[in-house]
A and B are shown apart, each in its own frame.
Chain A
Amino acid sequence: MSSDHPRDDIIDTTAPQTKTREDRMSEVDSRFNSTLREAFGSTPFVLTKFDAFMDWVRGSSMFMLQFGIACCSIEMMHTYAVKHDLDRFGSGVPRASPRQADVMIVPGTIVSKFAPRMKRVYDQMPEPKFVVNMGSCSTSGGPFQQGYNVVKGAEEVIPVDIHIPGCPPRPEALVYGIAKLQERVKNGETSPVTVKPYELEQFGDLEKDELVEKLADDIDEETLVMRYNWADSP
């Protein structure tokens, strides 16, 4: 059959669906003409922008970084496991290596010793990459915000796309957050980067103040350091 006009049974669905059988018994087999193709008529093409296609692909298959920090990682494990099964939403494969991951869920409190390591793990992920903040600690420091050693949120160190409140958020909340992220990625939306970063910089590049002078004997000029200005933190 030719496909320059729609098939009868698409226009009038009550018609007996015997066409395939008839076609098979005749010489030309129309099985290679899909329903979709026939529905489109004589132009069996979908026209889209490559960007839009790539956004759709990215949002539909996201690899998570297997990254446990604190209490929230227990709920994150539950989200991966049987009952909630994040994999159902096309985003459930935890990757142990940052080089294979698209999304980093930050599930816990970030302290001064860990922030440089987290920054490095983030830097190792290939572009495009996304970050989901899980729980109050990675949003703002949470219940530990007043601590002498606690970084007041992951956004002090790396840019973040989605914040999920809770202490810890329920698995359902995490699933919702991931679904929201996927929706944004599919629509090609980006988050404004509001990060006030604590950067990794070489010790020699720091402004020479009292603290730097004091540590000058202990730290090499080339060593990467992260300088925390606690007084400026929220």
Chain B
Amino acid sequence: MSQTEEPDEEAVEEPDPADPAGVVDYDALEALLGDAVVRRERHLNAEAFVVRADRVQDALSTLRTEAGFDHLSNVTAQEYHDRFESIYHLKKYDDPTQEVSVVVPTSRDNPVSESAEPVFRTADWHEREAYDLVGIDYDDHPDLRRILLPETWQGHPLGRDYNQDKPQIVEFEENVNPLADDHRESDTMLVNIGPHHPATHGVLHLETVLDGETVLDVEPDIGYLHRCEEQMAQSGTYRHQIMPYPDRWDYGSAGILNEWAYARVAEDLNDIEVPEYAQVVRTMSAELCRIAAHLLALGTFCLDIYGDFTAIFMYAMRDREVVQNILEDLTGQRMMFNYLRLGGVVWDLPEPREEFFATVREFLDDLPNRVDEYHDLITENELFQLRTVGTGEIDAETAKQYGVTGPVARASGIDYDLRRDDPYGYYENLDWDVITDDGGDNYSRLLVRMREVEQSARIIQQCVDLLEEWPEDEREIQANVPRTLNPEPDAEVYRAVEGAKGELGIYIRSDGTDKPARFKIRSPCFSNLQALPEMSRGEYIPDLVATLGSLDIILGEVDR
């Protein structure tokens, strides 16, 4: 029976929801899991198996090896009035429309469940986060301690009985002086990079163990920008109060891509159909955001490699200004757009439309020259190649273990792009390519981003053509959405879109009110950053900095 679950080569090329190969046979899966399953639940995106807390590793490794669910997309933890629950959202890299969830309930008195870390490496950080914010203990976890909040924090803030007004004490330990002891015995030393350091792209702390200039081990210490995004979303109403926050997750100008993640999940939850015209506008604006985000990645990466505010950084900023001006014309803001609404977009394209289209076309016409210029300056530069080719390598299998997605995964040869594989918006009607590269190194990651900019430009071009021809009386920007949204109680849904950095997913559980009972963000940067030690061990410390740059993390999204 597991034969039907094997990834079908045909299905990879053309995923077709009607095709039997693309449909998950949940009965067969239940039989496969045997007595580990307590019962089945129906979530809006997929069926879920409720699994006993001591059989998690069994269940997950069966699903992984025998049914082909090789992508642990997300781990959601939540507290009900009578129990804790960890939900493992599984997908296939070959066909992300095939999903299954594994729900692990534990009692409130003794919230211990088996860790999934031995099966999926990525569960390491996800479970640490669950322990930190919700308070579930994971048995067999290699290193269960707080990840986002300081070590000395009291309580678990997303638990039900957390009191936010209680005082907290945060330690400020002096960095360990590596020369404090006599180091003639051992020749390794600890170097702290960050949290305030120009190469960390924000507030990230890397605890690096060096032997000479070689990195023996590196441990990212995150949480310096943990600003309670999930709590904020859980205290906002679906209709309007949540949408401004996604702009601030991945703030590298990727706002509309993030908004779309929320729009998609909330529209699925409330059964809202988005008008076609609005989908085209969304697609165009989202791809503009992707260009801006990738240009930022390119500029700051070269800032890391070349080490100064040199031409490339300035050129990237110059081109970003152009994109930001277009987006400002469209949305009214340079960065925090708040443009999407549930069921559509907030307003139509700016008048006069011809002028707007002319501006976009001018940018698109100019882009090939710009890209050539970047190739001259960056990818064809021998010094740059020396720094990036063959450094920070990660192979596809390891990347899958860590749940790596986005340009980082595609640069390791993983052909995975939710715009094509789990279509939403208007992407399936447009003509564009998913870029992959087999290098798996820093150079490939930059190359993939630069080529994706060209593909985004192709998408925008087609959208502009469509929008120009769109009949004036059919420009419907917004579906009819009730003023207050009260989805069915206990509906659960996990949906993802292709953000600038990869798979940006959101899990929502409703409780019948107009606010979500649980709002969990699956951040692509979080998973990508987790793979950093794999890429950097054994390399020189400048390569570590280059690798961090090529991962293109945004700390707002890592820490949420």
Interface string of B221-255 (1 = CB under 8 A from A): 00111111101100100000000110010011100
Partner of B164, one of A68, A148, A212, A224: A148
Residues of A within 8 A of B169 (CB): 203, 206, 211-212, 215, 219, 225-228
* Residues of chain A within 8 A of B317, CB atoms compared: 77-78, 81-83
Q: B154 contacts which of A83, A113, A167, A214 (Cβ < 8 Å)?
A: A214
Q: Are A108 and B225 in contact (CB under 8 A)?
A: yes
The B-contacting residues of A in range 48-102, CB under 8 angstroms, are 66-71, 73-75, 77-78, 80-83, 94, 96, 98
Pick from A108, A149, A170, A214: contact of B226, CB below 8 A: A149
Across the interface, A113 reaches (CB within 8 A) one of B173, B224, B321, namely B224
Contact among A69, A117, A146, A168 for B335, CB-based, below 8 A: A168
In the bound complex, residues from chain B placing their C-beta under 8 Å from that of A82 are 314, 317-318, 321
- Encode contact with B along A108-131: 1 for CB under 8 Å, 0 otherwise: 110111111111110000000000
Of B165, B171, B196, B245, chain A has the most CB atoms within 10 Å of the CB of: B196
Partner of A149, one of B196, B227, B252: B227
B168 touches A111 (CB 8 A): no
Flag whether B525 is at the interface (Cβ < 8 A): no
B253, A117: Cβ atoms closer than 8 Å: no
Contacts of B443 in A (CB 8 A): none
User: Known contacts A114-B195, A114-B203, A146-B232; is A71 also within 8 Å of B556 by CB?
Assistant: yes
Which residues of A from 162 to 215 have beta carbons under 8 Å from B? 167-168, 170, 200, 203, 206, 211-212, 214-215
Contact A74/B335 with A148-B157, A223-B171 known, Cβ cut-off 8 Å: yes
Q: How many Å from the CB of A13 to the closest CB on chain B?
A: 43
Across the interface, do A70 and B251 meet the contact criterion of CB distance under 8 Å?
Answer: yes
For A92, the closest partner residue in chain B by CB is B309
Q: Is the interface of A mostly helix, strand, loop or mixed?
A: mixed
Q: State how many angstroms separate the Cβ of A165 from the closest Cβ of chain B.
A: 14
Q: Which residues of B contact A144 (CB under 8 A)?
A: 227-229, 232
- Contact string against A for B residues 194-210, beta-carbon threshold 8 Å, 1 for contact and 0 otherwise: 01111001110000000
> Considering the chains assembled together, what is the distance between the CA atoms of A18 and B334 in angstroms?
56
Tell whether, in the assembled complex, residue A81 and residue B195 are in contact, meaning their CB atoms are under 8 Å apart.
no
Q: Quick check: is B320 within 8 A (CB to CB) of the other chain?
A: yes
B152 CB-CB contact with A under 8 Å: yes
Contact partners of A150 in chain B: CB under 8 A: 227-228
Neighbouring B residues of A81 by C-beta, 8 Å: 309, 313-314, 317-318
A227 / chain B contacts, CB cutoff of 8 Å: 167-170
**Distance in Å: Cβ of A72 to nearest Cβ of chain B:** 9
| B202 engages A112 (CB within 8 Å) | no
Residues of B within 8 A of A (CB): 149-154, 157, 162, 164-174, 195-198, 201-203, 223-229, 231-232, 235, 244-245, 248, 251-253, 296, 309, 313-314, 317-318, 320-321, 324, 334-336, 555-556
Supply 15 A–B pairs (Cβ within 8 Å), ascending by A.
A68-B201, A69-B203, A70-B227, A71-B251, A74-B252, A75-B334, A82-B314, A82-B321, A111-B227, A113-B223, A116-B171, A150-B227, A168-B336, A215-B169, A225-B171
B-binding residues in A (CB < 8 A)? 66-71, 73-75, 77-78, 80-83, 94, 96, 98, 108-109, 111-121, 137, 143-144, 146-150, 167-168, 170, 200, 203, 206, 211-212, 214-215, 218-219, 223-231
